[in-house]
Chain A
Amino acid sequence: MWEMIEKGLAHNGLITAFALVGVVTWVSVLLSRHLTFGRVHSSAIAIVIGLILAWIGGTISGGQKGLADLALFSGVGLMGGAMLRDFAIVATAFEVQATEARKAGMIGAVSLLLGTVLPFIVGAAVAWAFGYRDAVSITTIGAGAVTYIVGPVTGAAIGASSDVVALSIATGLIKAILVMVFTPMSARFLGLDNPRSAMVFGGLAGTVSGVTAGLAATDRRLVPYGALTATFHTGLGCLMGPSILYFCVRGLVG
């Protein structure tokens, strides 16, 4: 009986992955609502669960691809692979209204640029301090400090190893969680009470899930403004990470 079920799941890998991620999301929604009382956004919890599953899968199989190394969950590799990931990220750009983007104006552009370069410098410096000396690893970890999307996209583009990519995702993830949890508490310090500062916040804080969750818990009306610049943030990071920033790092470390 179990063999039949296992065969059915393994032969429909991608479908199994959809079901698995659905269950993970459902569990994380429950955890978000009852354990953190909505303070930590369910998507952040879902991603943490994903990382934990990757750790479990990696420990059981001894492989390099986390849960995807278990035959039963090989579909996770397809669902979370570069192809569908890039496809879904590009689709999010559809929600950006270019006319509204113009309202953000100069200050939005400046905050977007700073929001990419400043975290990158911090991340790259920390990577250097911890003994990473090759340009590819330093760039990937630095890009991870921008967002947990920019990290793996940059890493895949310049050929970083999987463990460095995982480290950059972990960096971006911790950042997103910090943004979510501490935004409502520090709203006054950040001056988060008008659309303009929300746009600055979205550009600088970056990660869409962190920004939208943080703003939602601060003042719901600010969410679209923060999300607007935050959506550009990932695109800008994906554009700059494997290009300008990588070249700068390569120029510095040789």
Chain B
Amino acid sequence: MIIYGVALLAICTLAGVILGDLLGALLGVQSNVGGVGIAMILLICARLWTHRSGGMSKECELGVGFWGAMYIPVVVAMAAQQNVVTALHGGPVALIAAVGSVLLCGVTIAAISRTNKGAPLPALESEIAPAAAPAVAPAGGR
């Protein structure tokens, strides 16, 4: 039954949102703390749990899969209702923040890919990375 999948997704989302609100109240902030993240973890756990008892039916998975596939269209609708007019007055904040973080991440990926082991080592290199970033920056420039 497709509705089982949709209901499972709904229950995980609601539980995550409520737990997030609860966590927010416990931490003393008037906000939801990581509700979506908690809901995602709950859904992964639910899937693992049902795997043990034979797994879900194809239709049940379809109920969740449909909404997963609707993710990009929903994001498009979300983009279409943003206050873009005001955001454009914010100036080049978005551009500079995006370019900066892509460069920093690119250098870090290269560093981790090359050293490939030892967790703390890449972290150290990435801290030096910002200074080195302009030199190696136009990675795509060749």
Closest to A48 in B: B79
Instruction: Confirm or deny: A50 has a beta carbon within 8 angstroms of a beta carbon on chain B.
Output: yes
Nearest to B34 among chain A residues (CB) is A239
Contact A182 B140, beta carbon cutoff 8 Å: yes
The answer, among A25, A77, A142, for a CB contact under 8 Å with B81, is A77
Complex contact B113–A21 (CB within 8 A): no
Known contacts A80-B77, A80-B81, A242-B34; is A94 also within 8 Å of B94 by CB? no
Chain B nearest CB from A73 CB (Å) reads 8
Chain B 126-142 near chain A by CB (<8 Å), digits 1 or 0: 10000000001001111
Please, which residue of chain A has its CB at the minimum distance from the CB of B129?
Answer: A118
List residues 17-72 of chain B with CB under 8 A from any CB of chain A: 17, 20, 23-24, 27, 29-41, 43-44, 47-48, 61, 64-68, 70-72
| Count of chain A residues with a beta carbon within 8 Å of a chain B beta carbon | 113
B98/A171 in contact, CB under 8 A: yes
Question: In the bound complex, what is the Cα–Cα distance between A96 and B66 (angstroms)?
Answer: 15
- In the assembled complex, which residues on chain B have CB atoms less than 8 Å from the CB atom of A238? 34-37, 40
Cβ of A66 and Cβ of B83 under 8 Å apart? yes
Shortest Cβ gap from A227 to chain B (Å): 12
Stretch of A2-10, A30-38, A85-93 contacting B (4+ beta carbons < 8 Å): A85-93
CB neighbours (8 Å) of A158 from chain B are 29, 31
Other-chain residue from A54, A209, A239 in contact with B82 (beta carbon distance below 8 A): A54
Within 8 A of A (CB), among B65-92: 65-68, 70-91
State the Cβ distance, B6 to closest chain A Cβ, in Å. Answer: 9
Number of CB contacts from chain A to chain B under 8 A: 333
Task: Determine if B113 and A191 form an interchain contact, defined as CB atoms under 8 angstroms apart.
Answer: yes
Render A95-113 as a binary contact track against B, CB cut-off 8 A, 1 for contact.
Answer: 1101000000011001100
Does A230 lie at the interface of the complex (its beta carbon under 8 Å from any beta carbon of B)?
no
Q: If the complex has contacts A107-B117, A182-B139, are A200 and B81 also in contact, measured as CB distance less than 8 A?
A: no
Q: Is the interface of A mostly helix, strand, loop or mixed?
A: helix
Question: Complex: how many Å from CA A119 to CA B33?
Answer: 20
Are A64's CB and B123's CB within 8 A? Answer: no
Binary A-proximity of B94-129 (CB < 8 A = 1, otherwise 0): 111111111011101110111011010011001000
- Please determine whether B74 and A85 come into contact, CB atoms closer than 8 angstroms: yes
B29 neighbours in A (Cβ, 8 Å): 158, 246
Q: Which of B70, B75, B84, B117 is the most central at the interface, judged by chain A CB atoms within 10 Å of its CB?
A: B84
Asked if A224 is at the interface (CB within 8 A of a chain B CB), the reply is no
Q: Contact between A85 and B78 (Cβ–Cβ < 8 Å)? A: yes
Inter-chain contacts of A156 with B (CB < 8 A): 32
Chain A: CB-nearest residue to B63:
A91
Residues in A whose Cβ lies below 8 Å from that of B91: 130
What are 16 of the A-B contact pairs (CB < 8 Å)?
Answer: A51-B79, A80-B81, A87-B9, A91-B68, A94-B61, A95-B68, A111-B108, A114-B105, A115-B105, A130-B90, A157-B32, A157-B35, A162-B82, A190-B110, A239-B36, A240-B37
> 10 tightest A-B contacts by CB?
A191-B113, A80-B77, A239-B37, A50-B79, A163-B86, A80-B78, A119-B101, A166-B87, A186-B139, A93-B40
